[in-house]
Structure 1
Amino acid sequence: MDIRRYEQTDFAACREIFLSNVPRFFMPEELDEFAQDLNRLTDPYFVAVKAGQVVGSGGYFRGAKGVGLSWGMVRRDLHGQGIGKALVQYRLELITEDCPDLAVHIDTSQHTRPFYEKMGFIVERVEENGYGPGLHKVLMKRSPALP
C-alpha cells in the first residue's frame, strides 16, 4: 500500500469511500461538506492506494487548538486490514515534523473512539447525537509528546 497526496482525480473514489461508510460512520448530509472540503483543499490531504485503487483518505489542518485530523476514512469492506492505522500514523509523523509541540485533536464518533484510543488519543468530551440521531461526536486529543 502507498500513501500519497490527494489529487483532484481522486475525488470520485473518495466520494465512494465516504458513501461506503454511511450511515454507521458518517451522516448522509455530511457528504456535501466533505465534497466542498475536497474541492477547496488548502491543508494536507492524502489517499491510501492499494493495487492501483484509492482505498482510504485523510488529512490534517492547523487550527486554534492545535492540529486536527480531518476526514479520515477507509473503504468499508476493507476495515480491519491496517489501512486506517497506516493513514493515521502517516499523518501523525508529518504533524510531528511540522508541529512537534502541538497537540493533535480529532472529532470522531463513538464507533471509532476505540480505534483512536489505541492510537494514543484520550476523550475530552462527548456530545450525544452531535452528528445526528444515534451518531455521537467524540472530541479527542493526543499529546504532542507521544511517539
Structure 2
Amino acid sequence: MEIRKYKSADQEQIIQLLRLNTPEYFSPDEEEDLVYYLAHHVEYYYVVEIAGVVVGCGGINLADDGLTAKISWDIVHPDHQGKGIGSALTKYRIERIREMEGIKTISVRTSQLVYPFYQKFGLELKEIVEDFWAEGFDMYRMECDLETTQD
C-alpha cells in the first residue's frame, strides 16, 4: 500500500470509487460536487494505491480562519473497506496536519453512516443537519483539537 499525492490523471479512478460507493455511502447527486472539487478545490489530496490501482482517496482543506484543517472527500473501494486503508489514510493526513503551522483544530463533515469511524480518531460530534447532502444523507459535523487527536 502506497499513499501519494493526487494527480489529475487519478480523477477517473476516484470518480469510479465514488460510483462504487453510491448509493450506499454517497448520493448520486454528489458526483458533480466531487468533479468540481477535484478541478477547483484540491489543496492537499492523496490517493492510496495497491499494485498501481487507486483503492482509496481523501484530502485536507484549510479553513479561512487559518486554524482549522478539514478532512475531505474520503472514499475507499468497497472491496477494501474494513482492511485498514481508511485508517492509514486518516492517520497519514493527521500527520500532515501536525506539520502545518498554526493549525489547532481538525474538522470533518460526514454522514450518519460513517461518523463512528472518525470518533476513533478523537473527533466529536458538534452538529447534525438532516438531509444535508441529499434525502437520507445527513451531515454530521465533527471536530477535535489537534492536540487531542488520536493517530
What is the TM-score with the length of structure 2 in the denominator?
Answer: 0.92
CA distance in 2, matches of 1:135, 1:42: 23
Residue 119 and residue 29 in structure 1: after superposition, are their counterparts in 2 closer, same or farther (change >3 A)? same
Q: Which residue in 1 is equivalent to 2:129?
A: 127
Equivalent pair of 2:98/2:146 in contact (CA under 8 Å): yes
Residue matched to 1:59? 59
**Residue 88 of structure 2 is aligned to residue 95 of structure 1:** no
Pick aligned residue for 2:79 from 72, 77, 80: 77
Task: Specify the alignment match of 1:32 in structure 2.
Answer: 32
Deviation at 1:100, TM superposition (A): 5.5
Give yes or no for contact 2:56–2:77 (8 Å, CA) kept in 1: yes
Which residue of the partner structure matches residue 111 of structure 2? 109
Post-superposition offset of 1:101: 4.0
Stretches of 4+ aligned residues off by more than 2 angstroms: none
Alpha-carbon distance between aligned partners in 2 of 1:101 and 1:3, rounded to the nearest angstrom: 22
Aligned-pair distance for 1:23? 1.1
What is the alpha-carbon root mean square deviation over aligned residues? 1.3
Displacement of 1:76 after TM fit?
1.5
Unaligned segments of structure 1, at least 5 residues: none
Structure 1 residue 21 corresponds to structure 2 residue 25 = no
Matched, 1:9 2:9: yes
Choose 58-67 or 3-12, whichever is displaced more: 58-67
TM-score calculated relative to the size of structure 1:
0.94
The residue identity in structure 2 corresponding to 1:55 is V
Deviations 1:26-70, CA, capped at 9 Å, x for gaps: 111110110111123440100000121000001101113511011
- Give me the whole-angstrom Cα distance separating, in 2, the residues matched to 1:42 and 1:16: 18
What is the aligned partner in structure 2 of residue 145 from structure 1?
A: 147
Aligned length: 147
